[in-house]
Amino acid sequence: MSYRSFHFLVSGRVQGVYFRAFSKGIAHDTGVVGWIRNDERGNVEGVAQGSESALDRFKKALWTGPPHAKVANVEISNEGILDGLEYDVFEVRDILHRALVYSLAGLSVWGIVMMGVVHRDTLQRGKGNVGDLLTVHATNRLWQRKKQRSLRKTRQSTVNMTYQEQANEQALAEAAQAALQRSGKSW
């Protein structure tokens, strides 16, 4: 069986209105797989894969959106035919990626601060000696290990939070879909 695939970019008021959860619910109901995320410009983008009829329904839902969204445009690109699906489910990707970026930025800032501390200490001591530099290096290694442990804990809590947020988004998507059905809207 052949499947279809496309990349989509939805613009308008689509962030902060449960657009991703709504899309995930529609994808689940229609049998579409892929991913969706917020981008930096205030849009929502993603990849959808599935049968032609399922993707047609999904495209219509992208134009409709949840009740508080105002979709200005839906750009479809990279349409193609696939022999098999590349994804197992339709997932929201934004949360973990953002946490990773923030964690790496934090490590970079921490590294710059530590370089400044080492440089300041060396200047305060005058010429310094090998023993002083080894002490500073050992202190830095201890701070790095402590920071790595802290980062592991942060990543674990982010993953746990991600599962909870996904469950919340799923519940909101189901509620939005039920509200649309009650109001007589269709996609």
Contact at 8 Å (CB) between 85 and 4? no
Give the active site residue among 38, 120, 125, 152. Answer: 38
Active site residue 38: yes
Strands 3-13 and 44-50: antiparallel
SS (HEC) of 39-107: CCCCCEEEEEEECHHHHHHHHHHHHHCCCCCEEEEEEEEEEEEECCCCCCCEEECHHHHHHHHHHHHHH
Give the active site residue among 4, 20, 43, 57. Answer: 20
Active site residue 78: no
Spatial separation of the C-alpha atoms in residues 23 and 32, rounded to whole Å: 10
Query: Per DSSP, what are the bridge partners of residue 82?
Result: 3
**What is the helix (H) or strand (E) element at residue 16, kind and residue range?**
none
**Catalytic residue ranges:** 20, 38
